[in-house]
Amino acid sequence: MTVKKISRYEIEKEIGRGAMGVVYLANDPVINRKVALKTIDIANSLDAAKREELTKRMLTEVRSAGRLNHQNIITIYDYGEDLLPFVVMEYVEGESLESLRKKKGRFSLNEIYPIISGVAGGIDYAHAMGIVHRDIKPDNILITKDYVPKITDFGIARILDTSSTQDSGIIGSPSYMSPEQILGGPIGASTDIFSFGVVIYYLIAGEKPFSANTPHAVTYKILNEDPKYPSFYNPALTLHVDGVLFKTLSKNPKERYKTASDVVESLVRASSIQKDKTAQSIRDIASEKRNFLSELSPVDTIFEQATTNLRKHAFDKKQKR
């Protein structure tokens, strides 16, 4: 069945589909603006009382997320209910970071700095506003044609967390979930920091830090095992970068970085340390070369003087004949 219209929004085409619903490109005829409309179908299987409770929470969360106004966050315009609850958001031409990674493969640190710096700015801004995303992952980060990252689905993950469907198991991939999320513990800014660390690890190592064949096996690793060093997969990375990622992925929230920007700044410093060491190595080699040449210089002078004396001796001997 082709959807033509949801509430007042004219549907043009489907542009995405996920665990919680479908995303459409739509037109808002009132102000003639292209928007992204996301349906939320988790409420469809609930009874009337639970559905009403959930939709109230949805409205609360969307209102809260709708206060966010940042260049690296997708703006929420509207919320409503038709056949399903839906959220209307800013439409961005581009592709998800997940799609970009699949095309490109592994990124270098220099390549991801513009991306992770923007994402960190958006995360820290939301945290300052008292909002935790709870589902930071490459699928929820859109990259515009100008290579600007924009985080989407603020408020949506909170709706999922508070819905009764959580009782039946984990919704979606658990690869980016923090230990406290898995255990149902307190959720805070450090939860997004952990997920942010998983994203960075994935981009520069080309592999996820916690991967297995089943969701439960993944969650077990997150709770009980340390990941391999990123440099295991990408030899271009240094132990300093490994250290930054391990701190970001600490199982104890108190041991992680306080802000997403702290993570990026630490990565920059880690990269600079390597560059400084490389430059120092070059300087050391140059210094050793100069010392070696200075030691050779007297030898060269003696050799040249001896050669001159031999030539002079041969010339004098010839003249006497």
Q: How many CB atoms lie within 10 A of CB 291?
A: 10
DSSP codes of every residue in 74-129: PPEEEEEESSSEEEEEE---EEEHHHHHHHH-SPPHHHHHHHHHHHHHHHHHHHHT
Q: How confident is the model over 160-192, as pLDDT tens digits?
A: 554 433 433 444 468 999 999 999 899 999 999
Residue showing tokens 């300087």: 283
Residue with tokens 């920007």: 261
N-to-C CA span, the chain = 116
In this prediction, residue 253 carries a pLDDT of 97
Give the pLDDT confidence of 76-108 residue by residue, as tens digits.
999 888 888 899 999 999 999 999 999 988 999
Q: For residue 91, give the nearest of 36, 27, 37 by alpha carbon.
A: 36
pTM, 2 dp: 0.79
Whole-number pLDDT of residue 171: 46
Give the pLDDT confidence score for residue 169 in this predicted structure.
42
For the record, the structure tokens of 131 come out as: 């909002």
C-alpha–C-alpha distance, residues 90 and 37, integer Å: 9
What the chain holds in terms of domains, given with CATH numbers, is 5-273 (1.10.510.10)
d(CA 271, CA 253): 25
For this structure, is 135 an active site residue?
yes
pLDDT in tens, 138-152: 999 999 999 999 999
User: Residue 122 forms beta bridges with which residues?
Assistant: none
Is the Cβ–Cβ distance between 240 and 270 less than 8 Å? yes
Q: What is the pLDDT of residue 54?
A: 72
One of 135, 139, 153, 242 is an active-site residue; which one?
Answer: 135
Output the tens digit of pLDDT for each of the chain's 321 residues. 678 999 999 999 999 887 678 999 999 999 999 999 998 876 556 677 777 777 777 788 788 888 899 999 999 999 888 888 899 999 999 999 999 999 988 999 999 999 999 999 999 999 999 999 999 999 999 999 999 999 998 877 666 554 433 433 444 468 999 999 999 899 999 999 999 999 999 999 999 999 999 999 999 999 999 999 999 999 999 999 999 999 999 999 999 999 999 999 999 999 887 554 444 444 444 455 445 444 444 444 443 454 455 555 554 554 555
